[in-house]
Each structure stands twice: as C-alpha cells, then as structure tokens.
Amino acid sequence: MRTVWLAASLCSIAFTASAQTARPEPGPLTIARQGSFFVGGREVKSETLSTLPAYAASGTITVDQMYVRYQVPAGTPGVPVTLIHGCCLTGKTWETTPDGRMGWDEYFVRKGHPTYVIDQVWRGRSAADPSAINAVRSGKAAVDKLPTVFAAGHEGAWEIFRFGKAYPQTMPGMRYPLAAQAEFWKQMVPDSINSLPTPNPTVPALSELAQKIGGTVLMSHSQSGIYPFQTAALNRKGIAGIVSIEPAACPAPTDDLKPYANLPILVLFGDYVDQFPRWAPRLANCRAFVAAANAAGGKAEIVVLPEIGIMGNTHMLMQDDNSLDIADLLIAWIGKHVAKAE
C-alpha cells in the first residue's frame, strides 16, 4: 500500500532526528536575489475611509492583496517553498524563533530552496479595509456591520497550540521554548478571516503566486492548512507539492479528489493530538482524506511525529526546540517526492 510505504520511507529519514540535533553557529549566507511584492488585490471605492479632516472620507483603496517576501540562494536552486502562516499570526511565524534560533524562512534558503513567506490577506503587511468601522462610527451603518475581528488571548492560545491542556500547565516533554513566551505572544495579531469571503482571497493569491514562481511547494499551517488544497482545486498550475502542517482542516474524504491526483502531498502533525478535543477529529479527518486521496490515485501521506519516534512537538512545531530537525524531515521529503520544474 502506497501510504504505508511512504510513511516507512520517511521513518528511516526521521530516525536520526528523533533527538534534538546540535547545530553549529551558521556561517555567512550568500543569496542570489531577494525582495518583496504583492499578488492579488482589488480596488474598492469607499465613502468612509476616514473620520479625520486631514484624510478624505471618499476615495479608492486597494485590498485583498497578499504580501510576499522572498530569498533565492546562490547556486543551483532547489524546489521553491512558499510558507503560509496560520490563525492570528503573520509571516513572522517562520522567522527567527521567540528564543532567537534560526527560522525556517532562512533555513530552507540555506538548504538551497528559494523561499517565499506571505502575510495572509487583511493581516500583517496585507492591508485590511477600515471602511466598515468608519461607517459605523459616523452613523452611516448599524453596529452589526462592524467587522468580525478577534484576538486569541494567551490563555486560550495555550490550549489551541497544545502547550498544555489549560494555561499555564504544560504537556510532559513539551518542546516549545516557553521561557521566551513573551516574545511569542508579540507575534499574534488580530484576525479578520471571518469577515472575508470563502474561499479566502489568500487562495487565488496563492494560485497567482505559484504560477509566478513557476512551481512551488505550498507549505501551510493550521488555519491555512486547507488553502493549498483549495488552491489546487482552483488551478494546479505552479503547484509542485503540498505540505500541510497541523491543518485545521483537510479536504473531506467525500470531496472531489481529482484536483489532487498525482500531486505529492504530506500532512504533518505533532504530539499530543489525541489528547485535545479540538485536534483529535482534525487528525482523524486528515487520515480519512489521505486514504481516500490515495484510493483515487493520489500520492498523499500523513505523518504523526510520535508515530515515527519524535516526541514532544506542539502545534507551533516550526518554533519548537527541534524545529530545524523537523525542517530536515520536510526537506528530505521534498527532495524525494517533489520534482523541480524545468
């Protein structure tokens, strides 16, 4: 069976990474090029841009664009990777960890992968539209027209990220660098996703980005876990593979699975999943999706880290104390399963 074989191949890669690997101080990094740009976006005419005399209330703004920052390493580049953050966070997720270790954004570059980091639309450097707030403030709209925007508090996020079952308890052997938690909480931003249409405009923007790059692994996390699948359903062009890390949702096994035929897909979960009512059903659904996708000719795989001997990883595994070991696993998987565009 394909799934079993793939899991076994990853297991052999993973074996040496089951303990945290010591990392020497990294040397200088040579990059061929870097920069930032936007994809997507649409113009909106508004009469409520401002309630201040210094700025006109009436005018046109651009929203729904997605900010992208990238680095391409010197030398023959490997498969490009696009890092897509989750709920209540920005692209900062993948950068320097709260305790000051190298982020995946740099590590993938050092391993030869051109790396693209995005801010989901309406978050971070991707603009939101304040018109609804100002419409209510100036009496032109009712209070229920205010946007739905929430922040996850430290206490609630604690359980969502599986640091522990309730703040401030911790799971045994848990690998998140909690000594630096104050720096982590600074990464969290308000989330407007519930004010956005479905699919989220981030999805067509990811499709545009994938086509612009000309072949990339879409690597998502949590809230964004479903986006690469939605992007593939929209258009397979430019999508070289999907790595979905701790997705809040996989496609349903009863969905149309043709968009994923022959597409290398890896779904990755950390530890303690079955002990959390929020997470256990998500893992179960992803297992069912992977089985159904493979039955329909897919190349999907699901890895739950403790099942291959790696213990203690939280939902924020790209920041856990063995984050680069996890990255090594993914790099090995990409090297083995994802073809580079010619």
Q: Is 131 in the site for a copy of itself (CB under 8 A)?
A: yes
Instruction: For Cα atoms 314, 318, 320, give the angle at the middle one, nearest 5 degrees.
Output: 50
- Sign of the C-alpha dihedral computed for residues 265, 270, 276 and 280 taken in this order: positive
Q: Is 148 in the site for a copy of itself (CB under 8 A)?
A: yes
Residue 139 to residues 44, 80, 146, 195, Cα–Cα distance (Å) = 20, 48, 12, 20
* CA dist., res. 303 & res. 11, Å (int): 9
Q: Which CB sits closer to a copy of itself, 198 or 254? A: 198
Q: Is 214 in the site for a copy of itself (CB under 8 A)?
A: no
Q: How many residues bind a copy of itself (CB under 8 A)?
A: 74
Task: Name the nearest CA neighbour of 165 among 88, 249, 85, 279.
Answer: 279
Q: Is 78 in the site for a copy of itself (CB under 8 A)?
A: no
Question: Closest separation between CB of residue 153 and a copy of itself, Å?
Answer: 2
1, 4, 139, 197: residue in contact with a copy of itself (rule CB under 8 A): 139
Q: Is 169 in the site for a copy of itself (CB under 8 A)?
A: no
Question: Closest separation between CB of residue 185 and a copy of itself, Å?
Answer: 4
Task: Name the nearest CA neighbour of 67 among 89, 88, 49, 90.
Answer: 90
Q: Is 222 in the site for a copy of itself (CB under 8 A)?
A: no
Stretch that binds a copy of itself, among 169-177, 179-187, 289-297, 332-340 (CB under 8 A): 179-187
Q: Is 168 in the site for a copy of itself (CB under 8 A)?
A: no
Q: Which CB sits closer to a copy of itself, 226 or 233? A: 226
Q: Which CB sits closer to a copy of itself, 9 or 50? A: 50
146, 178, 196, 332: residue in contact with a copy of itself (rule CB under 8 A): 146
Interaction residues for a copy of itself, span 31-50 (CB under 8 A): 31-38, 41, 43, 46, 49-50
User: Does residue 117 sit in helix, strand or coil?
Assistant: strand
22, 143, 166, 179: residue in contact with a copy of itself (rule CB under 8 A): 143
DSSP H or E stretch at residue 194 = none
Residue 278 to residues 65, 89, 189, 273, 288, Cα–Cα distance (Å) = 31, 19, 21, 9, 17
The partner residues of 243 in beta bridges, in order of sequence, read 219, 266
Q: Is 189 in the site for a copy of itself (CB under 8 A)?
A: yes
- Sketch the per residue contact string, 252 through 291, with a copy of itself: x for CB under 8 A, - otherwise: ----------------------------------------
- Sign of the C-alpha dihedral computed for residues 257, 258, 259 and 261 taken in this order: positive
Residue 105 to residues 43, 73, 108, 270, 334, Cα–Cα distance (Å) = 31, 12, 6, 20, 16
Question: Closest separation between CB of residue 295 and a copy of itself, Å?
Answer: 32
Q: Which amino acid is at 183?
A: E
* CA dist., res. 305 & res. 321, Å (int): 14
Stretch that binds a copy of itself, among 61-69, 296-304, 318-326, 329-337 (CB under 8 A): 61-69
Question: Closest separation between CB of residue 111 and a copy of itself, Å?
Answer: 16
2, 13, 20, 183: residue in contact with a copy of itself (rule CB under 8 A): 183
